[in-house]
Each structure stands twice: as C-alpha cells, then as structure tokens.
Amino acid sequence: MRTLRPETAKSRAGETLNNCFTVRIARSLSELDNIQAFWKLWQNRLLADFDLYLNTLRNGPHCLRPHVMFLVRDECPVAMLPGTLEEYAMRVNLGILKVSVPKTRVLSFAYGGVLGDQSHESAELLVREIVSCLRNNEADLAILHNVNEDSELHRLALRIPGFLRRDHGTSTDVHYSMILPDKPELIYQGLSHKHRQAMRRTARKFASEYGESLQTTAYLAEGDVQQLIEEAEKVARKTYQRYLGVGFSPSEIITGRLLIAAKRNFLRAYILSVSSEPCAFVIGMIYEGVFHLEYVGYDPAFADYSPGTLLITKVMEQLCAERVKEYDFGFGTEQYKERFGNRKIHETRIHIFGTNIRGLTANILKTSGMILSAILRSLLERTKLFTKLKTIWRTRLKKRQLANPKSS
C-alpha cells in the first residue's frame, strides 16, 4: 500500500460516496505509517488521537495488533474506523455470578466512531467489513465503544448483523458535558439554590478548619508527570474506584498518555493538598478547545468536605479564564456530572458477535447478563438503593482509612 497525500482527502471527504471505493485494513505499524497523515488531518477528538492510539497499541495489556479500517476511493482515504485486535478473558456478570469466556479475540473500535466521511454509505461499508472479518474468524466478536445514538454507525451496527451476530442486550449511557460560560462566577448558575448554599457552607468549613494548609498545585509540563503520578497514587489507592479495579493507576498506558499530553501541551492536572499531603486530584486534557476529564479522586478521610467537587469547580474556573469552551465529564453517571452538565449525549456500547463457539457463547452470556443487570438496576434505582449503596461503600472506606491509615 503506497503512502497517500492528505491534500486530496480534504477535497474528497465531504463528497457523497459512490460504488467506486474499496475497504482496506491496516494490520501492522508499517501500514499505519501510510495513513498517518490522513488520520492526523481528521482527528478531532481526544480518544481518536493518533499518538494516544499508538500508546494504547504499545502499552495496552491485551493489544495484539492494529486493526484500522478505512475506505478508499481513487487511491485516497475518505473515512476511517480506528481499532485494535485484543485478546483477553471476557467477563460477564450473571447476577451475583461472574462467568468468563477464556482467550476471547476482540476487535475493539475506539470511542467516537468514524473519522472523515460519516455518511450512511461509509458507515454501512465499515459495519459490513466488521461482519466479514468475524466471518473470516479474525476475531470472536467486535466492540464499538460508546457510539452516539444519533449516528449512522449506531443505527447500522444494530441493524446489519444477522440475528446470531446482533447485540440483543445494549444499554444506553448518558455522557455529560458543560458548555463553559465566559465568566467563572456564571458556572454555578445552573445549580439549584439549595446546592449552591451547601457547596458554599462546605467550602467555608474546609477553609476554616485547614486554612493556609490548603494548597492547589498544577501539573502541566512533561517534567511534572512523575511527581503527578506519585501524588495522585497516594489518593487513588484509597478510593472506592481502586477497589472496583477502575480509575487512575500508575500503569504504563496511563503514564504514556500523560507524557504525550504534557509533551503536546494539553495536559491539565491539579492536586489539592492539606499540609502538603494530597487529598484530591483532577487529571484531564484540553483537546480542540474541550477539557476532557480523565481521572478524579479524593481521600475518603476528607469526604465531609467534598474535596473532589471543590477541586473540580476550581478547575472549571481556571478553564474559563483560559477560554476553554467545554468541560467533558467523561464516562459514568456520578451526581456531580448531572448537576453541572448542561449538555448530554446518549451513547451505546455495541457488540457484534462471531458465529464460532466463543462468539456464540459470549453472545448468550452477555445477553443473559444484561437482562439480569437491567432488572437489578431498575429495582435499585426505583428504591433509590443504587446511590445509597455507593454512599455506604464510600463511608466504609472512610472509616477504614481513619481506623488504619498506615495500611492504606
């Protein structure tokens, strides 16, 4: 495959596609070099960034190789769907039971979907190519991460695969963001009067009890990254996210992301400390005028002061001063995201299954698990137990920290 010129793609990417095109797949680093220029031309969101993709490919614990699909017309790419081939034990929750499908080969496609032309025609071709790869046993299943429900890719990924390949148990997630105002003081206008008053009381209480020992430190440069990781880890290892196996960790892939962001001047990380000891952190990246919240955490011992929320709002004020246009809260449905968010997108994680043994097994288990989880979650939300359980968990962690801080 010869190296292609991005200038041609600019003029062609917005045209209506016809039948004179082909689908190609880059399955090696050398093939990625041929489309790198087009990728960088089209990348318009953080999780589709070429350098961050390479970091995932090199440091992701389950990545085997690239699997980047792109549409070509007259030897010029017009659309692209970045992905990787991964292998891991797929775990499914069946009520209180956890079942895994060992050594599952998965085509994992990046958040946000198609780069370049996003028409019905290009989405249809890419979905059909995914099905073709599964038919050829390149993988046992494919996952399209957090696809916008209003996109053509979402509609076609649920319609084109046959019954045995189709995802019968999708669930919708709400992705919150906040369009930042021109002035920092306007950040709080969307909150209820009761919530604004509660935040002011908590902030005053925190300041009155700890006073000048409270300090916020920014970490922006490449030389700051190691210290940032060390300070954030002091807090992260105490959080409930760590017990769930999610959130910040000093892993190679996260370290690589932070170094790339710092080198390219879009890292924004902040640590809130009490007497020089970190109690909360916010780590994010500014990309195309949008701040993307990557990781947030706080020490449960300070939960009464809401240090995480306090630091998030301080960061919002700083971003307003920098004229950043939007604050993307990332994945998850925590209460603070709903309170501050004034924009939301509905997204779906879509699976397409192979018809081999592992693919069919994964489909049956995943569908069964989704049905049981939906029933349980509905019950918890109707009885308001879901939020209470998270609060109980955090309270227990706080008590554990206070009882035995050294063991943490």
Read off the DSSP letter of residue 315. H
Enumerate residues 6+ apart whose C-beta is below 8 A from 119: 16, 17, 152
Which is more confidently placed, 191 or 279?
A: 279
Strands (E), 299-375: 326-328, 343-353
pLDDT, position 11: 37
Distance CA 273, CA 271 (A): 6
- Name 41's Cβ contacts closer than 8 Å, sequence gap at least 6: 6, 9, 10
Within this chain, do residues 33 and 141 fall inside the same structural domain, yes or no? yes
Residue 355 tokens, joined: 């018809």
d(CA 146, CA 148): 6
Give residue-wise pLDDT tens across range 188-236: 888 888 888 999 999 999 999 998 899 999 999 999 999 999 999 999 9
Q: What is the pLDDT of residues 284-314, one digit of tens each?
A: 999 999 999 999 999 999 999 999 999 999 9
Q: Which of 324, 357, 390 is the last residue of a domain?
A: 324
Q: Are 171 and 370 in contact (CB under 8 A)?
A: yes
Tokens for 246?
């999610």
Instruction: Tell me the average pLDDT of the chain.
Output: 87
Residues 140 and 111 in one domain: yes
For 135-253, list the strands marked E by DSSP: 141-148, 172-179, 214-219
The CATH number linked to 350 is 3.40.630.30
CA dist., res. 166 & res. 163, Å (int): 5
Can you tell me the distance from the alpha carbon of 242 to that of 174, in angstroms, rounded to the nearest whole number? 23
Assess if residue 384 is contained within a domain: no
Give percent above pLDDT 70 in the chain. Answer: 87
Cα–Cα distance measured from residue 114 to residue 408, given in angstroms and rounded to the nearest whole number: 43
Same domain for 54 and 163, yes or no, is yes
Residue 341 included in any domain: no
What whole-number distance in Å separates Cα of residue 310 and Cα of residue 201? 11
278 and 353 fall within a common domain: no
Which pLDDT score, from 0 to 100, does residue 83 have? 97
- Return the pLDDT at 4: 41
For residue 104, tell me if it sits in a domain.
yes
Q: Are residues 366 and 277 in the same domain?
A: no
Q: How far apart are CA 262 and CA 293, in angstroms?
A: 15
In a domain, 333, yes or no: no
Look up the domain containing 58 and give its range.
6-174+346-378
| Whether residue 244 is found in the same domain as residue 157 | no
Q: Is residue 387 part of a domain?
A: no
254 and 297, same structural domain?
Answer: yes
- β-bridge partners, 101: 90
Q: Residue 180's closest CA among 171, 170, 190?
A: 190
Q: Is there a single domain that holds both residue 250 and residue 266?
A: yes
Q: What are phi and psi of 237, to 5 degrees?
A: -70, -10
Question: How many CB atoms lie under 10 A from the CB of residue 265?
Answer: 11
Q: Are residues 75 and 127 in the same domain?
A: yes
- One domain for residues 21 and 165: yes
Count the domains in the chain.
2
- Structural contact between residues 68 and 26, judged by C-beta atoms closer than 8 angstroms: yes
Within a 10 A sphere around the Cβ of 246, how many other Cβ atoms?
13
Residue 404 is assigned to a structural domain of this protein: no
Q: With 80 as the cut, is the pLDDT of residue 56 above it?
A: yes
Cβ pair 68, 28 in contact under 8 A: no
Residues paired with residue 393 on neighbouring β-strands, in sequence order: none
- One domain, residues 116 and 255: no
Residues 24 and 162 in one domain: yes
Q: Picking from 11-15, 124-128, 240-244, 267-271, which range would have the lowest pLDDT averaged per residue?
A: 11-15
* CATH classification of the domain holding 206: 3.40.630
Q: Per the domain annotation, does 394 fall within a domain? A: no
Work out whether strand 141-148 and strand 97-109 pair parallel, antiparallel, or are unpaired. Answer: parallel
Tell me the mean pLDDT in the region 233-250: 90
Alpha carbon of residue 306 to chain centroid: 24
DSSP annotation string for 26-72:
E-SHHHHHHHHHHHHHH--SGGG-HHHHHHHHHH-TTEEEE-EEEEE
- Let me know if residue 393 belongs to a domain: no
Q: How far apart (Å, rounded) are the C-alpha atoms in residues 354 and 131?
A: 8
